[in-house]
Structure 1
Amino acid sequence: MFITTGIGVLSLSILTIENKCDQTVWPVLYSWTSPHVTTTGFALKKGEARNIRAPFLWYGLISGRTLCSTDTSTGNFSCATGDCSSGKIECADDDYNWSTATYAFFRLDDGGVDSYTVSVEYGYNLPIMVVPSMKSQTCITAGCVVDLNKTCPQDLMNFSGEKLIACSSSCQESGTPESCCLNEFKSKENCKPTTYTKNFENACPLAYIYAYDDNNSTVICSNSTDYVITFCPTSIIPNISNNRTSMAPLAGEKNNSQRKLNTILGVSTALVAIVMIVATAVIVRTKSASRRSGRNDENIEAAVMLKRYSYESVKKMTNSFAHVLGKGGFGTVYKGKLPDASGRDIALKILDGSKGNGEDFINELASMSRASHVNIVSLFGFCNEGSNRAIIYEFMPNGSLDKFISKTMSKKMDWKILYNIAVGVARGLEYLHNSCVSKIVHFDIKPQNILMDEDLCPKISDFGLAKLCKNKESVISLLDARGTIGYIAPEVFSKNFGGASHKSDVYSYGMVVLEMIGAKDMKRVGNSKSDNVSMYFPDWIYEDLERRETMKIFGDNIMEEEEKIVKKMVLVGLWCIQTNPSDRPPMRKVVEMLEGSLEALQVPPKPLSNLPFVTAWESVQDSQETSSFSIPR
């Protein structure tokens, strides 16, 4: 986001904080600069996310609290880990009490650049990963995800009952000048690493451990970058401890022992470039070796960084494929359980050998394993054993959006839930297009590929048709167009309408939103005053908009607040299905439109209706399968 001032254009970063833990997390935000962020603390349930707009020239921290509760007798709010000692959900905005927690420090737009550091100097309570939206040689994903039972020294373990919940740092635990690098120990020569710092140094080579650590902890980015901060990420952070660079720690400015973290912005770009070149060479060699040896299993596993299961394990997980969840164009999905102590429910997709090829499989794995967002289905593992290929996902107990829509259509619509679903899907697509490691265009957004968890949080699934974009490319060249009739964009049918791109997903999203509100249900057309009930459905929506009678099709019992929600969804859906891709808003703008005021939305131009894809849509009954079309030359 940008704001214009008398001195030029200033960038504002969006910090998306998401919780993928199995418990509620209470994020903490603290600012050393003014203005502060809009909140200093709030609750984030499992699967939830929240966007925070960081002020210009913001410098502050983000951490998480766990096992929080309010004392019924005193009203005091406190947390077992990461507590900020305010006695409230919001933390004090004038001082900060350091606690045993994992921290992410940000210094945004400092001299034209951003920088951030994930720090375990004060201890560790939650896995954290920071993903910048715009990658470069120095702007990379960093974080710290460890097994406390293996990493935390026994004398520094924090328990709640019998459960290990955090690890104190040596300084936090003892407070001695030696462990905190104070007084005569305040030098690199005298401040020596402890068991704690050594253990975390090995486990999290990109995290800041202690004052005189030599690791590469500060990540440098451009000042137009947004960030996703994930608690308990499902993706694995690459361990590059053998290719370490000399990036210095980002500073914190206050703590309860009056210490300061030194900010050193001298970055060895050459060494970072070497790391990137080496990593690129490894990927190239991996792909080449994969092709030469029939996609060698070890190479694939190294490339996608996911747990690999044997086909025998897949059979055991699914009880010999006893419970079918559904069938799609690329395979059958079964319900199962992970073969570990958690016994977590999973959805396991067996890929048909006759559909797709090894490259499709690897692309899906690579793209999904690097995607981490609350509105994206998480990937747990894979099987690649001869002709047997499977992908293991998190299980979504409420099924797909199309089933949810059909249920709600038969009874009173809960417009607030449908609105929240629309916003969640928009956020997930915005993440795929702009913020994940590999820029992803889905090309088959439809209700069947949007799944619902136990809290009706929507998650985008099925990346079998995804095409990975290079960072600097905005339009994708496809040899054959893929998608589902009824949701596919006109430019995918014919290049006369432009090139297939992320805007193709925007079109599909608009069709999904219009279907969610019932506008795509042709049986409802008769409720409108339009004479021609066989007309392309946006046409009669526009006619009713002109008559200010849009809500007539939803009955007479709709409340005023619900009417505003529905009208906003209608307008956003119509903007998304504009014929010309350049007229459609990007997904970031779509999110802003949905979350903004209805009064700020204008009625978009009417899309053309005499198009070949309209005829195709009208002749097909909501196709369940993925179809392929050749793009006219």
Structure 2
Amino acid sequence: MGENDKYQIRKIEIVDAVAFPLRYQRFGAQNPSLIHHHCLTPTSLNTPAARTNSTKLRANTRRAQHSQPLFTHCLVRLSTREQASSQEAKKQAMATALATVVVALFLAQIASAATLALYNRCGETVWPGIQPSAGKELLARGGLQLAPNRATSIRLPPGWSGRVWGRQGCKFDAAGRGRCATGDCGGTLYCNGAGGAPPATLAEITLASVPTAQDFYDVSLVDGYNIPIVMTPVHGSGAHCVPAGCVSDLNSFCPAGLAVRGGEGNRVVGCRSACAAYGAPQYCCTGRFGSPQQCKPTTYSRLFKSACPKAYSYAYDDPTSILTCSAGASYVVTFCPRHR
């Protein structure tokens, strides 16, 4: 919270020179120790020189005791509760404004092509990575930087398919070389077709190639988890055209054997899949477990599914995780959808 968020200019009525100090104290009766005793004269509110103490103000108001009530503006230090309320209101306003921006992005482009909007609601910068499927067009050079509470949009070619994920804790030089704590794609800002290193939460999509077909999309934890993601269809239709995603913070209760630590304080920054952690066929759905009939949910995949019922928890989690929309839909991928 910035220093400016702790103060607010408020309008206060002055009846007379004697009453003003009392009125001023009553104004801050709930938190008298937090009141900042500086006021501004009504005639020059925006002038720094107008700031004066209550003694000077009493002298000015003494001349107006028999006139109509005088109002002044005081710079008041907000209580701790008021500061928190003010910050929350600002965040809600920001969220509403950015949601409007995302919708506007769609409305500007939806008529001619499907659009993918990326919206970062996290409290820190996210570096989205974009990997096309084999033979599909590379979009936005495969990666970009997205500051907190910012959104961007990318037009999707017909029939495009690929995946999107969020990289965190990245540091790049002027040439775009560096590293990310999670989701790194070979040490570059622009992934250029490379995928993200597990663990990484994935948003996957395959657009319809013809108008009569359907889009298929999902959010997957098969490669592990690093950041909450929700994928929301816009202007699509169908019984299964609903948001997909994982809004829970799996890092906060990731089993020790799956946890990946890094960054400041060596905190948990990602949660690996059991396949990546142990490599056993029953976790990877390989070998004699290479079919839906043989590869069943495990203790680890059940943990993921319990926390994120609208996301893929293991390779054959199709029935409850893959979603469809009518052709022509657009999609919003939101990072940290519950963050305020």
Which TM-score band (shorter chain)? 0.5 to 0.7
Task: Report the equivalent of 1:207.
Answer: 311
Deviation at 1:18, TM superposition (A): 0.7
Whether 1:179 and 2:280 are equivalent positions in the alignment is no
Question: Are the counterparts in 2 of residues 152 and 196 from structure 1 also a CA contact under 8 Å?
Answer: no
Deviation at 1:147, TM superposition (A): 2.7
Q: Which runs of 5+ in 1 are unaligned?
A: 3-9, 236-393, 395-633
Deviation at 1:149, TM superposition (A): 5.1
> For residues 166 and 149 of structure 1, what CA distance do their matches in structure 2 show?
6
Task: Report the equivalent of 2:255.
Answer: 153
Task: Report the equivalent of 1:34.
Answer: 136
Residues 192, 218 of structure 1: alpha-carbon distance in 2 compared, 3 angstrom cutoff: closer
Task: Report the equivalent of 2:188.
Answer: 88
Q: Deviations over 1:60-97 (max 9, x none)?
A: 1110100011379x974111101111x2100032x435
Identity %: 40
> For residues 189 and 113 of structure 1, what CA distance do their matches in structure 2 show?
26
Task: Report the equivalent of 2:203.
Answer: 104
Higher strand share: 2
Task: Report the equivalent of 1:525.
Answer: none
> For residues 106 and 149 of structure 1, what CA distance do their matches in structure 2 show?
25
Question: Are the counterparts in 2 of residues 30 and 61 from structure 1 also a CA contact under 8 Å?
Answer: yes
Whether 1:234 and 2:333 are equivalent positions in the alignment is no
Residues 219, 75 of structure 1: alpha-carbon distance in 2 compared, 3 angstrom cutoff: closer
Task: Report the equivalent of 1:55.
Answer: 157
Task: Report the equivalent of 2:218.
Answer: 117
Paired residues, number: 226
Question: Are the counterparts in 1 of residues 121 and 335 from structure 2 also a CA contact under 8 Å?
Answer: yes
Deviation at 1:190, TM superposition (A): 3.3
Deviation at 1:151, TM superposition (A): 4.3
> For residues 209 and 29 of structure 1, what CA distance do their matches in structure 2 show?
21
Task: Report the equivalent of 2:34.
Answer: none
Deviation at 1:214, TM superposition (A): 5.4
Whether 1:216 and 2:315 are equivalent positions in the alignment is no
1:554-573 alignment runs, 5 A limit: none
Q: Which amino acid aligns with 2:338?
A: T
Structure with larger Rg: 2
Where 2:268 maps in the other structure, the secondary structure is strand
Whether 1:15 and 2:119 are equivalent positions in the alignment is no
Residues 200, 20 of structure 1: alpha-carbon distance in 2 compared, 3 angstrom cutoff: same
Question: Are the counterparts in 2 of residues 11 and 56 from structure 1 also a CA contact under 8 Å?
Answer: no
Where 2:320 maps in the other structure, the secondary structure is coil
Report the TM-score when normalising by structure 2: 0.61
Question: Are the counterparts in 2 of residues 36 and 58 from structure 1 also a CA contact under 8 Å?
Answer: no
Q: Deviations over 1:550-596 (max 9, x none)?
A: xxxxxxxxxxxxxxxxxxxxxxxxxxxxxxxxxxxxxxxxxxxxxxx
Residues 215, 173 of structure 1: alpha-carbon distance in 2 compared, 3 angstrom cutoff: same
The structure 1 segments of at least 4 consecutive aligned residues displaced by more than 6 Å after TM superposition are: none
> For residues 37 and 92 of structure 1, what CA distance do their matches in structure 2 show?
9
Task: Report the equivalent of 1:44.
Answer: 146
Where 1:216 maps in the other structure, the secondary structure is helix
Report the TM-score when normalising by structure 1: 0.34
Q: Which amino acid aligns with 1:222?
A: S
> For residues 122 and 164 of structure 1, what CA distance do their matches in structure 2 show?
16
Deviation at 1:157, TM superposition (A): 1.0
Deviation at 1:187, TM superposition (A): 2.3
Where 1:179 maps in the other structure, the secondary structure is helix
Whether 1:163 and 2:267 are equivalent positions in the alignment is yes
Where 1:155 maps in the other structure, the secondary structure is coil
Question: Are the counterparts in 1 of residues 251 and 269 from structure 2 also a CA contact under 8 Å?
Answer: no
Which residue of 234, 240, 252 maps to 1:138?
240
Q: Which amino acid aligns with 1:126?
A: I
